[in-house]
Every structure is written in C-alpha cells, then in structure tokens.
Chain A
Amino acid sequence: MKHWGKALILAATMLATNAHAEIRFGIVNEAYPPYTTKDASGKSVGWEIDLMDAVCEELKEKCTIVDVAWDGLIPALESNKIDVIWSSMSITDERKKRIDFTDKYYSSLASIVGPKDGVLGVDPEQLKGKTVGIAVSTTQSAYFKKHFADIATEKSYATVDEAYQDLSAGRIDYSFSDTGPLKEFLKTDLGKECCEFKGTVPADDAVLGAGVGGGIRKGDDELREKLNGAIKAIRANGKYAEFNKKYFDYDPY
C-alpha cells in the first residue's frame, strides 16, 4: 500500500514536470505553402516551421510538432492536446472569445488572382458580377462580405487549394486569399499557365485582423509572455529576416 502511494506521487510529479518540459506546437495538416507544408518524407517544413525553430532556439525550449486539421486546432488547444496554435491563424475578435493570442508574427495581406487577361486591379467595379473562390470562414471571407458582397458572388471552398483548381478550370473568375500563398501558387506550373496577380485589396483591420499570431489557451499567460519575448528578440537580432529571405522578397511582419 505504501509503495503504491509512493509510486503514485512519483508518477504525479513526473507528469507535472513533463507538462512544461516541451511546447507542443499545433501545425495545420492541410498544406498552406509557403507557411506550412510537408516535404516528400512527410516532415513539416515552411516559413512558420522556421519561425518556430527560431523561437524555440531563442527560448532554449524543446518543441514538438503536432499535426492537427484546421478546424480541429482550437478544440485541440482547449482539450490540452497542443500548447500553441502556430498555423497562420489571424487574430480576430471572434477567435479572441475562445482563445488568447501572442503578438502578431506576420501581417496577413489579402490579394486577388485571376485569369491572364491583362486586366489588373482589384476595384469593386472589376469584380462586378464575378464569382470569387474563397476558403471557408477565413478573414478574406469576412472581408468579402463587408466590401464585395453586393457586387460579386462568393464561392466557399474547404481549402484554398481547391479554389486554385477551379480557377484554372475556369469555374470561378477570381481567387481571394492571403498574399503569401497566392504568390506561391503563381509559381507552380498550374498557376503560371492560367493566372496572374491582380492586386492587393486595401487594408481593413476590423475584418482582416490584427495580423497572425500564435493561439494560446485562455489564461496561459506564462507561455504567451515567453513567446512574445522570443518573437520580439528574433525580430531584433535579425534571425527573422534571415529565414524570411528564403521565402519572400518582402518583410511580411
């Protein structure tokens, strides 16, 4: 009986110390290049993974990646399967009701791509009567509702990749998404052949969100402060700029 008690206490202390021995980063399962994607061996790579490595190096913490589907990220965080959402999640008021956020680590600019017809620009006038493919329930979708809902039709996609497919097949007229992934799409064979960059829409922080940050469980202030400090540090010491060079010719912060 005594031994059992000891074993239990030992197990409990091990669990307690283990809880913060590593930070579990929830990375979205669906490819979202160049931020997160999987290489041929199934390993997660991309801009956000490099950012995570830089942050963890700064914190001298051990970090592990947990793959989670996009719609499972917040439930996974709440049920303590991950410690931070690190998957291009924009900081919005709606989400803030459920979770906390770190400071932003990049700003999400929204842009439009369309078929190669030489007509550039993103004026509402040009979108009149057109069908625009948008990933469901994204900040771009909220932006569209506010600025374009009366003049154009929104078509919802589970992932933005499917919208690209339909754009190249001529089923939709435009695709509206985050600038980074759109430019990445235009570098692919499919994108090069069919489409061109039309332009970036004017900023609207109310719907596009105050940038992208790490999602933190409500009340986990210790981790949030730690990550905020690390983000600030790598911005200052040049590490952010260093890995960013590999992906973008601009500073997305």
Chain B
Amino acid sequence: MDFSWIIPYRELLLNGALLTCMLLVISVVLGFAIAIFLAIAQVGNNPVLRVAAKSYCTFFRGTPLLIQLWLIYYGLGSYLPYIPGLKGSFLWPLMREGLFFAAVALTLNFAAYQGEILRGTLLAVPKGELEAALAVGMRPSMVLRRIWLPRAIRIGLPTFAGEVILQLKATPIVFSVTVMDLYGAAYKIRQDTLLVYEPLILVAAFYVALTFLITQVFQRLENAVPARR
C-alpha cells in the first residue's frame, strides 16, 4: 500500500471532495423543492398538472441517470451556442461548464424520485387529521402548509435519508462530463501514478464517512420530530 501521493495531490482531492458535496447539496435542496410541486400536482385535482407530473416522474425514473446527463450535456448543451446572444453573455462561462449540466441532471433526477415518494407519503397522512384541520376552520392552502405537507415529510423522513445516500453515490458519473469531482480526482491520480487500488480506497472511505454523516443528520431530525402513531 502506497499512500505517498496524498500530499502532492491534496489540493485536487480537496477540491474534488468539495465539488462532490456541493453537487449533493444543490441537487438535494433544489430537487426537493421541485419534488414538493410534483407530489402536490400528482395528488391534486387538476388533470393536466397530474398527467404532466406523472409523465415527468415516469420519464426520469425510467431512464438511466447517465443517459439523462449525456442527453442534457451533449444533446441540449451542444445547441446552446446557437442561441443568439447567449455565447457572448455573462451566462456563457457558467453554461459552458460541465458542472452546470451535472447539477441540472442530478437535480431533475432527484426531484423525480423524491416527488414519487412524497406523493405516497401525502396519501399516507390519515384523512382524519386533514378533516380535523378543515373542521377548525383552516383554508385548504393552510391545511397543506401546516398539516398535510409537514406530516407527509415526517412520514417520509427515513426514506429520504436513503435517497440522499443514493444521490451521493450517483454523483461520480459527473466526471463523464469533465467535472473533477472526488471520483475524477481519484481517476486522475490512478492514471498519473499507475496505482490501481489506493486512490479508490481513499475515495471509498470518504463516501462511507459522508454517508455516516448523512445518517447522523437524519437520525437527529427524526429524533427532533418524534413520529406519533
């Protein structure tokens, strides 16, 4: 076992780890926000929104993340330079980077899974609680905001932890669109030093540590809001 490369490559590794964390946070936060709309649309009464949300979830859950990423990066991304004015604009430096497309793809994908889970937990909230809320005079929008959605999120909390962990482990594919995340750093080190296992062992340990951290955070959240049956 040879770990002497850690010192010369520490900056690459550190930047990679930060990128991985950043992509995880961005995609989970934004994805969750989109998921709330997707879930509400699916349990709501508007047939157009329901079909649209359902189709979205079916498409993004039904195709591999890698294909989505490449469709967005190589497909959509290669047409961006032809949009008049975009190439010279202040947005271009961001939109020519793989990071932008990676964040978009991970967010859209996470939203689809999360939307489906949230749909299920919205339906799992006991009807009596909602009726009670209406009976004390809350408007439907207030019921949603104060009772229905918080209860649904609490029910889904143990599942969300698992989803976030899965999302973490989905991030290494962003290297395929030139994002130097932690896996990308390990890949480069492997190529440079011709070491096969050591860089992989290091990043594997990092992913395990991060997973442990995520479990702890969710454990605390669950303890802070005890579920009552």
Are A166 and B178 also in contact (CB < 8 A) when A74-B194, A75-B196, A94-B194 are?
yes
**Option from A95, A162, A170 in Cβ contact (under 8 Å) with B178:** A162
Residue interface bits B168-188, CB-to-A below 8 A is 1, else 0: 000000011010100010011
User: Interface-forming stretch among B18-26, B73-81, B117-125, B152-160?
Assistant: B73-81
Is A158 a contact of B176 with CB atoms below 8 Å? yes
By secondary structure, the A interface counts as: mixed
Cα A75 to Cα B96 in complex, Å, equals 35
Residue interface bits B67-92, CB-to-A below 8 A is 1, else 0: 00000001001101100000100000
Cα A79 to Cα B87 in complex, Å, equals 49
Residue in chain A with minimal CB distance to B87: A170
Residues of B near A162 (CB, < 8 A) are: 176, 178
How many interface residues does chain B have, given as a range? Answer: 20 to 34
Residues of B near A165 (CB, < 8 A) are: 74, 78
CB of A46, distance to nearest CB on chain B (Å): 22
Cα A137 to Cα B180 in complex, Å, equals 13
**Option from A137, A168, A171 in Cβ contact (under 8 Å) with B191:** A137
Is B194 a contact of A158 with CB atoms below 8 Å? no
Residues of A near B196 (CB, < 8 A) are: 75
Is B77 a contact of A71 with CB atoms below 8 Å? no
Is B187 a contact of A136 with CB atoms below 8 Å? yes
Is A158 a contact of B74 with CB atoms below 8 Å? no
By secondary structure, the B interface counts as: helix
Is A156 a contact of B194 with CB atoms below 8 Å? no
Cα A136 to Cα B175 in complex, Å, equals 11
How many residues on chain A are close to B (CB under 8 Å)? Answer: 20
Cα A95 to Cα B176 in complex, Å, equals 25
**Option from A94, A95, A156, A171 in Cβ contact (under 8 Å) with B188:** A156
Are A95 and B194 also in contact (CB < 8 A) when A158-B187, A166-B178 are?
yes
CB of A79, distance to nearest CB on chain B (Å): 10
Is B178 a contact of A156 with CB atoms below 8 Å? yes
CB of B200, distance to nearest CB on chain A (Å): 11
Is A170 a contact of B188 with CB atoms below 8 Å? no
CB of A149, distance to nearest CB on chain B (Å): 14
Cα A26 to Cα B116 in complex, Å, equals 47
Residue interface bits A94-126, CB-to-B below 8 A is 1, else 0: 110110000000000000000000000000000
User: Given A156-B180, A165-B78, 8 more contacts at CB 8 Å?
Assistant: A71-B187, A74-B194, A94-B192, A98-B194, A136-B187, A156-B178, A170-B81, A170-B87
What is B's interface to A at a CB cutoff of 8 Å? 74, 77-78, 80-81, 87, 96-98, 175-176, 178, 180, 184, 187-188, 190-192, 194, 196
What is A's interface to B at a CB cutoff of 8 Å? 71, 74-75, 94-95, 97-98, 136-137, 155-158, 162, 165-166, 168-171
- Complex A-B: 7 CB contacts under 8 Å: A71-B187, A71-B191, A95-B194, A137-B191, A137-B192, A171-B96, A171-B98
Nearest 6 CB-CB pairs, A to B? A137-B191, A169-B78, A170-B81, A171-B96, A137-B192, A75-B196
